[in-house]
Structure 1
Amino acid sequence: MDRTKIILLSVVLFPTLALAQSNEGNITNPSFSKAKKIMQKQIYTNAADMKTIYCGADFNADKYITLPAGFSTEVYKKRVKRWEAEHVVPAENFGRAFSEWRDGAAVCIDSKGKAFKGRKCAEKANKEYRLMQSDLYNLYPAIGAVNAARQNYNYVMLPKTASKDYRSFGSCNMLIDKKDHDAQPPERARGVIARTYMYFDAVYPKYKMSNQQRQLMTVWDKQYPVSRWECNRAEKIQKIQGNVNPILASRCKNI
């Protein structure tokens, strides 16, 4: 049997294996609400894993957070009790690649006959967008107030000198530059963030990092190597979502 027939046969008999061997993103779950339930019920289920990405805050099976000692926020105070699903690669950063986000679509008309665009339209009109939005590799629990303050800001290394334009969260070393719309994550999150950006860049043609962002993520990937926790999380997601994370696959071999 020639190689072409073997490949075709493997696709028919072992579709999950065939998918795992290709650099594809999420093609199984187009529902963001379902993705959040999967996070809660199937991924973050062990006490040791139940920590938010930026602040390392503990949470329980009902998503209620125990805030770190000294945590404080002057904004979004109503969003600190339960974790929210944070898009490490912000939805807007890849959403603007879709015409529905930028310009709207014929189906994006509300009950009053008014046209709308943006995230709401992209989610309604484009399945490819919904799949990207629901990709579990890109979703992490975060304290709601931190998630809200980060918005769609790029990750950077901020100047070491303190600035009145920086928003901080007490003992959680997450800094938000309100003036220039940048965010500096704590060290605990930088490697995970880097490899998430690299994954999105590898599997979604609609998304490409800027040269500046790529340079930073390459540095963070090397400075903060992959952990066993990160690899275990990827294994769970691969079983649920069906696609391999090619960035973590190579890094987790020796973990």
Structure 2
Amino acid sequence: MMKLLYAFALSIAAIPAAFASPPATFTEAKVVAKQKIYQDQASSAMGELYCGCKWTWVGKSGGRVDPKSCGYETRKLQTRAERTEWEHIVPAWTFGHQRQCWQNGGREQCVDADPTFRAMEANLFNLYPSVGEVNGDRSNFNYGMVSGVSPQYGQCTTKVDFQQKTAEPRNEVKGLVARTTFYMFDRYKLNMSRQQQQVLMAWDKQYPVSAWEKQRDQRIAAIMGHHNPFVTGERKWTLGYAPQGAGAVASNVPVKTVPKPTLASAVEGGSVIGNRNSHVYHLASGCPGYAQVAQKNQVAFGTEAEALAAGYRKAGNCK
């Protein structure tokens, strides 16, 4: 096991600079998360997020739960109970509803038109393998304390209150989900209720950063290019904390007011053109592929910084 961990650590440290960039889509993020963050965690003592179950990898990013490893018992949905799914610790519904694109067309509209949403959806800090059934039961509920609910998943101590729409994760990850939530709300300038702040601040204090959480942060930072400052101790969430919004790469204006990007308008505005399929961007000067991106695949950015923040990388043939 020690040799495996050492080899995995070396693979993370040896990530080429060209690949040390955020994944551009949720689909890509799941594959990267498996290969670079959780590959050796399927059989670890920590297990998946909500119940600590071990699992075996299946396909590019899926997994099959070992219920005996954690005493898991299916509540209702056997198919989802048997597989791992990628949980957004801060649900896509939660951050999506604070974007105008969601009001104009839901998640699909946000994925298509909002680079900030795409960055949030694919953010590796916010992803963690979990038992599919618990992931589904948690839905888009806020985290909080749940009382008066009998064990729902055998020996798994995570509880879901469907009436109050609240989920209480097992103690082992309460600090991790609190600091991840702080990070997401801070990075993308989201609004958090006073009650949610108080619950998460209490968990942050009661459950300090663990050795695994530090290691997880280091692995993710090698790909994302930055750490979670609430894990490293650079920032501390206090009641009324003002999020900085470092990851909000695009103005949150109604999608209907944003003209469909075309090559002509991009050239006139001197914008950067991205290819939504390859997630490669091209400059008007020095990039041969600038005029070759099909109109249906074009994504216009005002600057290279915007393109990079949205998870795009510069075309390799640019001079």
Structure 2 length as normaliser, TM-score? 0.62
Distance 1:244 1:61, change over 3 A: same
Q: Deviations over 1:180-210 (max 9, x none)?
A: 21111111111111111111122111x1221
* Larger radius of gyration between Structure 1 and Structure 2: 2
1:158 aligns to what?
146
- The one of 203, 206, 210 equivalent to 1:223 is 206
For 1:175-186, list aligned pairs within 5 A. 175-186=159-170
Distance 1:230 1:69, change over 3 A: closer
2:27 aligns to what?
33
For 1:16-95, list aligned pairs within 5 A. 28-46=22-40, 47-48=43-44, 51-62=47-58, 63-67=63-67, 68-95=69-96
The question of whether the paired residues in 2 share the 8 Å contact of 1:76 and 1:148 is answered with: no
Which amino acid is the alignment partner of residue 214 of structure 2? Answer: C
Cα distance in 2, alignment partners of residues 80 and 201 from structure 1: 30
The question of whether the paired residues in 2 share the 8 Å contact of 1:44 and 1:50 is answered with: no
Q: Deviations over 1:106-152 (max 9, x none)?
A: xxxxxxxxxxx211221122111010011110111100001001000
Greater RCO, 1 or 2 (C-alpha within 8 Å, sep 6+): 1
Distance 1:176 1:122, change over 3 A: same
Bigger mean CA deviation after superposition, 220-229 or 74-83: 74-83
Which amino acid is the alignment partner of residue 191 of structure 1? Answer: G
State the superposition RMSD in angstroms. Answer: 2.1
1:6 aligns to what?
none
Q: Deviations over 1:209-246 (max 9, x none)?
A: 21111111111011011011000011010111112211
The question of whether the paired residues in 2 share the 8 Å contact of 1:71 and 1:172 is answered with: yes
1:24 aligns to what?
none
Q: Deviations over 1:32-91 (max 9, x none)?
A: 001100111111122427711110001123322211454222322211222111011111
Structure 1 length as normaliser, TM-score? 0.76
Distance 1:119 1:80, change over 3 A: same
- The one of 218, 227, 231 equivalent to 1:248 is 231
* % identity of equivalent residues: 35
Cα distance in 1, alignment partners of residues 219 and 45 from structure 2: 12
2:7 aligns to what?
none
2:299 aligns to what?
none
Cα distance in 1, alignment partners of residues 98 and 151 from structure 2: 29
Which amino acid is the alignment partner of residue 199 of structure 2? Answer: L
1:202 aligns to what?
186
1:133 corresponds to 2:121: yes
Which amino acid is the alignment partner of residue 89 of structure 1? Answer: V
Distance 1:118 1:75, change over 3 A: farther
Which amino acid is the alignment partner of residue 180 of structure 1? Answer: Q
The question of whether the paired residues in 2 share the 8 Å contact of 1:167 and 1:177 is answered with: no
Which amino acid is the alignment partner of residue 25 of structure 2? Answer: S
Secondary structure of 1:33 counterpart: helix
Cα distance in 2, alignment partners of residues 239 and 70 from structure 1: 34
**Aligned length, in residue pairs:** 209
Cα distance in 2, alignment partners of residues 92 and 123 from structure 1: 12
The question of whether the paired residues in 2 share the 8 Å contact of 1:49 and 1:229 is answered with: no
2:217 aligns to what?
234
Cα distance in 2, alignment partners of residues 50 and 198 from structure 1: 22
Cα distance in 1, alignment partners of residues 151 and 164 from structure 2: 12
